[in-house]
Structure 1
Amino acid sequence: MNYSTIKKTAVAASLVAALGFAETAQAQTPTVFGGRGQYRTWSIGVQGGITTPNTILGGQNGFGQKVGYFQNKVGEYYGLTIRKQFSHLFGLELEGNRGRIKTYNHEMVTTPETANGARSAETAVNWAASLNGVFQLGTIDFMRRENAVNFYAKVGMGVMAHNPVQYSTTDFSGTPVFNNEGNWGEEVFGDRTDVGDRDNRLTGFIPVGVGVKFKLSEVVALNLGYTMNFTDDNLLYGPVRYDGKQKFSNLYGGLEFTLGSRDKENLTFTNPVATLYDELKDPSLRNEVEALKQRVSTLEGTVDQLSKDSDGDGVSDKFDKCPGTPAGTVVDGSGCPIKFPEQQLTDGTVSSGYYAPIQFEFDSSVLKTESYATLDKLAQELKANNSNVTLDGYASAEGTEAYNMNLSNDRANAVKQYLVNAGVSASSITATGYGEANPVASNATEEGRIQNRRVEIKK
């Protein structure tokens, strides 16, 4: 086998392997909750059949150039297969065969069609081995619970060792006019002196075929198929006048035996649609799904109870110690109103225009919706009296002082921007951030930290 054959063999084998693994990666596992491990995926097969020196694609073959001179003659062909099924769509198969390929001339013509005047030829295939990708195309029982008939196609790459012999008679008898075990030199057929003496010729070939499998039992399947074999050899039948790549085909039947435990289903005959249906309709699975739905419903009810906030103060009813607080009331972590000391004016009287601090969420300078009513009222008062206001922003003690300083400044400016958008002159508003300074409650508790995340309003 020359370098060109070796190179083609390697390329084709790589292609078959790539197709196989790509198909395996793309194919969905034919079950919802299981995997390939729950199926039987290995099988061996025995097969036998006949060969012909042509294919259904037609075209010219080497032994006999003129149509009608040389005729097909069947030869025996038999072998073994080992297959690994990767999904219900694809498997890899190692195939080995041996047998004979025959052809002859039924008419005695004046001009022989071979270089040495042969009237018949037979090629002994001592062994042929190939690696095939097997693609399952479908089944006529697809909607049944269990497939029984599968159609498939295969393509691969292989190597064969063969020995051609040519005779001067049409009955494959008498003294050979050419024998591969003899001389391949000039005295046999002219200037072809590159072969030399040998018992076998090694030739690369590409098998391409189709077939159908019938499930006879959980272990045995009947396998019928047809394969075209395209060789890389122009001397498949010995020396001939037509110097082209030769081909032959084989028609076979055989039995395939699935390996593994009978408790597992054969992946080759798995019906993925039926498997999905059966598993989804399985009583135990349906009970489990219903139980899961019940648990989810109970959990949703618990979440609804925990999140229910009847008075809208931001504290759920389950944890609200002061239910029914008026809308807009500033509350602490337990839902109770926060009490601030009354603001004293310079004359010692209590200001009737005092506003409670504006509260913020942790690490946020975004205004809460419950603050809008307070700020709208403040904006109206500032515009009506043409008065000034000071906004002092603060933060709780989490984080660094520098970060909290910026956060408190952002909070003060968020209140200022709201007032400006409401029509208050920006020049009448002073916004300053003081970081963690002047806490109104302890930063050691969450309730205290909630009170410290604020902007104080001073008029």
Structure 2
Amino acid sequence: MKSSSFFRAACMLALFTPLCSIAQTTINGPIFTDGPGYRRWSIGVNGGLLAPVAASGGSNDFTKWKASAGYGAYVKWQLLHSLGIRADYTGGKLAGNNDRKLGNEKDPAREYNSFETKLKWSASVSAVVNVATINWMYKKNAVQIYLSAGGGLAGYSPRISTELEGGLKDYKPNGENIKEFYVPIGAGLKFKLSESVNLDLGYTMHYTDGDNLDGFNYGPDKDKYSYGYAGLEFPLGSRSKPQLSWQNPAKVLYDDLAQQKANLQQELEASRAANAKLTADVDKLTADADGDGVSDFFDKCPGTLAGIKVDGSGCELPKDTTPKQVITKVTITDDDRRLIKDAIQNLEFEFGKSSIKASSYPSLNKVAEMLRTKGFSLKLGGHTDNIGNATKNMALSKDRAESVKQYLVEQGANPSKIEAVGYGANQPIATNKTAAGRQKNRRVEFTIY
């Protein structure tokens, strides 16, 4: 079939696709592709030989192919260290005849015996993969092996003849140009001559999508042609920046990891020194020679005897010379209760005020004397009726209890043993609906203990 060569070319292109994918997915990061740090763009010019034959697909429709001069140029952008995108232009001439006798010189199907095709132009875009480098243990390599594959469009005008030499005539009327799609598959060897120029040796096979290249349709295969060349590549950009395509990621990564290891080793040594200093500082802070619980660093009184209580500075606490208070049991007698009852019954205040009437003083004086001599504690609870504002009643009850406390203190009672609280009208002992009931509710209760 005529499509067999094209199918083989497509298969070869498919084989390159995983390489490109691997290059894109496994090599990344600033170590490999630091764009601002590398030169990515380059241009190349080349010259060589064009021939209507391909190493993987044989010749075209004539028995003998001829090598003719060709020329080309390209622009390349290096995407990763191992993957670039290249746009190629190729021009020149292709020629062949049936001079090689294969027993088919009388074949009526071979009515034409020679051709010459002017390859006016061919333009393609290819992926270029660096598959091997020489001296890979160096960051900057000197030799590369690369493969390329892509797609393009060619324009050419064949001329054919029934003679082996001469007698050529246009395959298309008036030399009409033919345009056909093709797949370029190539390989090459590149040498780094300097930071400014590379030597490029390559061979590219072009598989066309037609059988018009030699102006003769013979056999099942589509036409193809090849271009072997030598050329120069010129990287663009500042010479102070290296070319990305020559960088060796394995070596760069190795050196980077080695540097990281050295840095970690330095950090580890610094950490060990810091830990040793910290340990010494901790030992200094925790040392306690006299065992008093205060470290020697803060101990202002070193050498204290065992069992001696010390303060935060390690000095002995002053001894308590205050005599212990003997707590005696409090006994409340019936006479004490009668005295408290009389004081409650005789206690009167000025109307709506907390001032104690003078008639209440004798009973209160007896209560004060009892508190002084017997050491009782006293709770005073002030109460009012419900006439008037509740807030004012609460304050009045508190003030009256405080007035009684103040009077008792003035008579010599211990203020710390007297508690005065006010309950307002919250705890009545009689009804507030009668004058007599309200009178009973206006009171101060005495509770001794």
* TM-score normalized with structure 2 length: 0.53
Q: Could you tell me which residue of structure 2 aligns to residue 63 of structure 1?
A: 61
Deviation at 1:75, TM superposition (A): 1.7
Q: What letter matches 1:160 in structure 2?
A: A
1:137, distance to aligned residue in structure 2 (A): 1.2
Q: What SS does the aligned partner of 1:37 have? A: helix
Contact 2:43 2:236 in 1 (8 A): yes
Distance in 1 of aligned mates of 2:55 and 2:168? 33
Q: For the structure 1 residues 216 and 134, does the alpha-carbon distance in structure 2 shift closer, same or farther, using more than 3 Å as the test?
A: same
Aligned positions, number = 281
Q: How do residues 168-317 of structure 1 correspond to structure 2 at under 5 angstroms?
A: 168-171=162-165, 173-176=166-169, 178-182=170-174, 199-278=176-255, 292-293=267-268, 296-297=271-272
Partner secondary structure for residue 190 of structure 2: strand
The 8 Å contact of residues 114 and 239 in structure 1, kept in 2 or not, is answered as no
Question: Residue 175 and residue 155 in structure 1: after superposition, are their counterparts in 2 closer, same or farther (change >3 A)?
Answer: closer
Looking at secondary structure, tell me which structure has more helix per residue.
2
Residue 26 (structure 1) shift: 2.5
SS in 1 for 2:24: helix
The question of 1:138 aligning with 2:115 is answered: no
**1:162 to 2:156 alignment:** yes
Aligned residues: CA RMSD = 4.1
Tell me if structure 1 keeps the 8 A contact 2:114–2:162.
Answer: yes
- Structure 1 residue ranges without an equivalent (≥5): 1-8, 65-69, 183-197, 311-316, 322-459
Higher alpha-carbon Rg = 2
Calculate the TM-score normalised by the size of structure 1.
Answer: 0.52
| Displacement of 1:76 | 1.9
Q: 1:29 to 1:213 in 2, by over 3 A?
A: farther
Residue in 2 aligned with 1:105? Answer: 98
Deviations 1:347-386 (A, max 9, x none): xxxxxxxxxxxxxxxxxxxxxxxxxxxxxxxxxxxxxxxx
5+ long unaligned stretches in structure 2 = 1-8, 287-293, 299-449
Determine the C-alpha separation between the residues in 1 that align with 2:161 and 2:182: 25
Residue 257 of structure 1 aligns to a residue whose secondary structure is: strand
1:87 to 58, 80, 84: 80
Q: Aligned match of 1:73 in 59, 66, 78? A: 66
Between the two proteins, what is the percent identity of the paired residues? 30
With over 3 angstroms needed to count, the CA separation of the structure-2 counterparts of 1:113 and 1:72, relative to structure 1, is farther
Residues 159 and 168 in structure 2, CA contact (< 8 A), matched pair in contact too:
no
Inter-CA distance 287–15: structure 2 relative to 1 (3 Å threshold): closer
Measure the CA separation in 2 of the matches of 1:276 and 1:25.
16
Q: Which moved more, 1:147-156 or 1:269-278?
A: 269-278
| Structure 2 SS opposite 1:83 | strand
C-alpha spacing 1:307/1:138, structure 2 compared with 1 (3 Å): farther
Tell me the distance in 1 between the aligned counterparts of 2:160 and 2:90: 22
Q: 1:364-403 to 2 correspondence within 5 Å?
A: none
Residue equivalent to 2:43: 44
Q: State the AA in 2 paired with 1:43.
A: S
- Quickly say closer, same or farther: Cα 1:302–1:35, change in 2 above 3 A: farther
Cα separation, partners in 2 of 1:114 and 1:84, compared to 1, 3 Å: farther
Contact kept in structure 2, 1:96 and 1:130, CA below 8 Å: yes
Q: Which amino acid aligns with 1:55?
A: A
- Relative to 1, partners in 2 of residues 1:42 and 1:242: Cα closer, same or farther, differing over 3 Å? same
Deviation at 1:19, TM superposition (A): 6.5
Whether the 8 Å CA contact 1:31–1:275 is kept in 2: the answer is: yes
- Amino acid of the structure 2 residue aligned with 1:230: Y
- Residue type of the partner of 2:26? Q
Cα separation, 2, equivalents of 1:204 and 1:304: 77
Q: Deviations over 1:98-127 (max 9, x none)?
A: 112111111686535656x22111221111
SS in 2 for 1:31: helix
1:455 corresponds to: none
Q: Is the partner of 1:23 in helix, strand or coil?
A: helix
Aligned to 1:334: none
